[in-house]
Amino acid sequence: MKARRCKTWIPSLLVGAAALCLSNCSSKPTLDDSGPTANWEVYGGDQGSSHYSPLTQITPENVEHLELAWKHNSGDFSDGLDGEVGATTFQATPIVVNDLLYYCTPFQRVFALDPETGEERWVFDPVLKLRGGEGPYPLNCRGVTYWEEPAPVPGKACQKRIFHGTRDSELIALDADTGIPCEGFGEGGRVALREGLESGAPPWEYYPTSPVLQIGEVVVIGALIADNVRTDAPSGVVRAFDVRTGELAWAWDPVPPNRTPDPEEGEHYARGTPNVWSIITGDPERNLVFVPTGNPAPDLYGGERDGIDYFGSSTVALDANTGEVVWRYQTVHHDIWDFDVASPPTLFQIDGVGGGAAGVAQPTKMGHIFLLDRETGEPLYPVEERPVPQGAVVGETLSPTQPFPTHPPPLHSTQLRPEDAFGFTPFDRKACADMIAGLRYDGAFTPPSLEGSLQTPHTAGGMNWGGVAIDPVRGLLLTNQTHAALVNILIPREEADKLDTSTIQYPDEFYAMTGTPYALKRYLLSSPFGAPCNPPPWGSLIAVDLRTGEIAWQVPMGSTRDQAPFPLWFDIGSPSFGGGITTASGVFFIGASTDHAFRAFDVETGEELWETRIPAPANSVPMTYRLDAKGKQFVVVAAGGTPLSKVGDHLLAYSLPD
């Protein structure tokens, strides 16, 4: 470990280490103004969600001197315990454009701040109707989207716009300078996203959670659909709306090409189709939209799908003008594990990778990364169809093979035997070993069963919506992963209908899967002490050399602090929710872990360079910007945790000292 590494918090017992740290941190760096400037104009840094910035003022040599520059608290958070307001999770990534910083809150308010001071410039409140504890998910908003008129009319309102999808299933357009809704967009600045969908569905079953994609003359939006509720869930349709008027430009109904959409009476789109809840990316030059798809309904039993999962768990390229399918690549066949594609399709073009072709990197919850040709969807490197476990329950038909990439190979271990069981004591280690021995596990893609099947990776990943960061110069892909296992138990319908499900509370989960012969119970494979039964690290950070396909380095990420009592604080990695960004200077920033920490790593070595204590876990994706040649580079992260940790509303900005 290099001596320059320094934490901004120091356990009281480490007095000697504290003295060393203070001596290393005492001299402040000279700010280098010679490097580039850059905004962060799109959720993922660019429309391809590379999570990369060209900024160089903060370096591996000076990152240890970062200090809090400003913070903003919206007041929009709740633990959900009062019953009137649902629990929240603050996952927003701000954007900086138009000399303002914009972000949204779990209560769907949009704030515009001064990027260098954090002072409020305006705030918009949509007056959210759905703000109670309805449904299984916490209140959330990951980001907003900016657009400006190419040929603006001086003095006319809404020549610059912020687009925002809400939990009330509305797409809202705001004047980016004032926060006032754009009157010419939809009805009073709002478009109702439930139009053409099932009118009787409860509001919590369908709504957007991720930022829209603006490309050409349209904004493209998908939506979350509640998992495992019923076979006839709302449609997973993806739609594009005119940026000026809000009129529907096109709709992609993800029905297999050999079938005619068959919507219910009064509806426009087929029910139960795969949805697109995560981040959509785009290539304006090729006029392509890339959507990561979920599962047909329900997620964990496919016997009633009748082939409708043709587009499930896939990356699909759509024509940005028409919504027509250009190509699709399926990462899991007939997915009954909830391994839907959660990570944004990330665009890249790097000398020495796939012959220099324009590519799409698609990470998955399985720990797989598929490198695809951007124009055709064909793999840039061999993908092997390998036999996988069979023997599903009556009514289910499994795919005999699943795709496994070879460049890079799978990043997530799927081995878990009784002798691999972890425990802090011999007692809980034995308990874990006994549980593993009593479950069905035939390796990756073991199907859910009546006796109980073990599943690893967890449905949270592997990799999830936080995505990956790609350094185009070094040819490195960096990502965090969660390492945990869970148990799936199918329950015959007659038995399930007699259960008192009110007694089943998270982390135990119960899903009715109405319309199928089974319900499902699912829970984390954990010891009596609550720790995962699989061996640590429970969270990791990994760098892949995209040119060679080999792992450049891998380190544990996160600690047991803030989840376990002292002295059980170990740097053995923790599950992560969120992602990271990388800079041209070679610094990777990430929160994501379950502890209250924001960290910086060396891109080339994986060495942890800096760590600071924050008020709540930063289960989000950070961003960075530098507005002008004499200004500072800021790194901003949302720290609001989840209902499983500590909730909050802290938007934190860091910079080097004057």
12 CB-near residues (< 8 Å, 6+ apart): none
Quote the CA–CA distance of 612 and 69 in Å, as a whole number: 13
- Bridge partner list, 387: 401
Beta-sheet strands, E only, within 87-154: 95-97, 100-104, 110-113, 120-124, 145-148
- Which residue among 76, 338, 562, 602 is the active-site one? 338
Token digits of residue 578: 């969120």
Strands (E) located in 201-307: 206-207, 213-215, 218-221, 224-225, 238-242, 248-252, 281-283, 288-292
Indicate the residue type of 154.
Answer: P
Query: 153: buried, middle or exposed (CB in 10 Å: 19+, 13-18, 0-12)?
Result: exposed
User: Which tokens in the block code for residue 647?
Assistant: 């909730």
CA 634/CA 625 separation, integer angstroms: 6
Cα 643 from Cα 137, distance rounded (Å): 10
362 DSSP β-pair partners: 370
Distance CA 152, CA 579 (A): 36
Residues 437 and 431: beta-carbon distance below 8 Å:
no
* 126 upstream amide cis, omega within 30 of 0: no
Note whether 133 and 80 are within 8 A (CB): yes
Locate tokens 């299984």: which residue?
Answer: 136
Best CA proximity match to 182, nearest among 142, 242, 140? 242
Q: For the chain, give the longest Cα–Cα distance.
A: 73
For 486, the token pair is: 């869970």
**Helix ranges, 343-424 (H):** none
Residue with tokens 């203070």: 22
Q: Cα separation of 558 and 556, whole Å?
A: 7
Q: Which residues pair with 290 in a beta bridge?
A: 281, 317
> In which element (H, E) is residue 486 found?
strand 486-492
Q: Give residues with Cβ within 8 angstroms of 503, minimum separation 6.
A: none
Omega cis (within 30) before 11: no
Q: Say if residues 350 and 472 touch (Cβ distance below 8 Å).
A: yes
Strand partners, 283: 288
Q: How far apart, in whole angstroms, are the C-alpha atoms of residue 312 and residue 423? A: 37
338 annotated active-site: yes
Amino acid found at 29: P
Give me the residues paired with residue 637 across strands: 652
Residues annotated as catalytic (active site), given as ranges: 338
